[in-house]
Amino acid sequence: MNTPNKLTVMRMLITPVFLAFYLIKDIPHSALWALIIFLIASVTDAVDGRLARKYNQVTVFGKLADPVADKMLTTAALLAFMNDGLCSIWTVFIILTREFAVTSARLIASSQGVIIPANIWGKVKTVSQMVFTVAVLAMLVFKDFGIMPENVNIALISNILLGITAVLAVISGIIYLIKAKDKIDITM
């Protein structure tokens, strides 16, 4: 297994660690630990694709597993935020519906021997979701350390930021499915 694929697998394995640190509030500064782990996982996403392209190590596994690893990480954050009232169930529903639709198209394409890589809109959606997640986690860390002013409504800010991601998810999903329909046979 090449280095980019190892980084993708590492992101998959670190996701439940992130979720555990976020959810276990008895751990001192759990939000800080969750933020650090999320940042590490996010960096692996930025690095694995660059390494694969730079060293000509792009693989079918990487094309398929990288988006799955991204979805695992970002979905874990959404579920954690929803658990704490920082994310609307509708935002999670919209984003997950997009993810299931795109993944289904990818599976159909794969069964027909066609690999459809992520498009720029999907990458923008994923990056925005990761950046917004870092912002929400940072606000929680600031609150934990007493740096965040009391009148800041973290839930409102979180819902606005993740709502932007939901809009990007819809746009990227529609674009992906339109492009996919020209490459796969959906009459099977």
Looking at the predicted structure, is the pLDDT value of residue 141 above 60?
Answer: yes
The CA distance from 112 to 33, in Å, is 42
Q: What percent of the chain has pLDDT over 70?
A: 98
Q: Burial, 168: exposed, middle or buried (Cβ in 10 Å; 0-12, 13-18, 19+)?
A: buried
> From CA 46, how far away is CA 7, in angstroms rounded?
10
The answer to whether the beta carbons of residues 72 and 148 sit under 8 Å apart is no
pLDDT of residue 60: 81
pLDDT digits (tens, 9 = 90+) for 57-86: 988 888 778 888 988 999 999 999 999 999
Helix, strand and coil content of the chain, in percent to the nearest 5, comes to 80, 0, 20
Length of the chain, in residues: 188
Distance CA 46, CA 159 (A): 25
Per-residue confidence band for 2, with pLDDT thresholds at 50, 70 and 90: very high
Q: Would you call 22 exposed, middle or buried from its count of C-beta atoms within 10 A (0-12, 13-18, 19+)?
A: buried
Residue 187, pLDDT above cutoff 80: no
Taking the mean position of all CA atoms in its chain, how far away is CA 175? 18
Regarding pTM above 0.85, the answer is yes
Tens digit of pLDDT for each residue in 101-133?
Answer: 998 888 888 888 887 777 898 889 988 999 999
**188: confidence class by pLDDT, cuts 50, 70, 90:** low
What average pLDDT does this structure show over 39-58? 92
Mean pLDDT value across the chain: 92
Under DSSP, the state recorded for 184 is: S
Q: How many CA atoms lie within 13 A of 70 on its CB side?
A: 27
- More confident call, 60 vs 135: 135
Q: Which residue has the higher pLDDT, 140 or 71?
A: 140
- 99 has pLDDT over 80: yes
Q: What's the pLDDT score for residue 164?
A: 95
Check whether 5 has a pLDDT greater than 70: yes
Query: What is the DSSP code string of 15-77?
Result: HHHHHHHHH-TTSTTHHHHHHHHHHHHHHHHHHHHHHHHHTT---HHHHHHHHHHHHHHHHHH
Distances (CA, A) of 36 to 65, 71, 134, 141: 23, 18, 9, 11
- For residue 142, name the pLDDT band (cuts at 50, 70, 90): very high
Q: Higher model confidence: residue 159 or residue 184?
A: 159
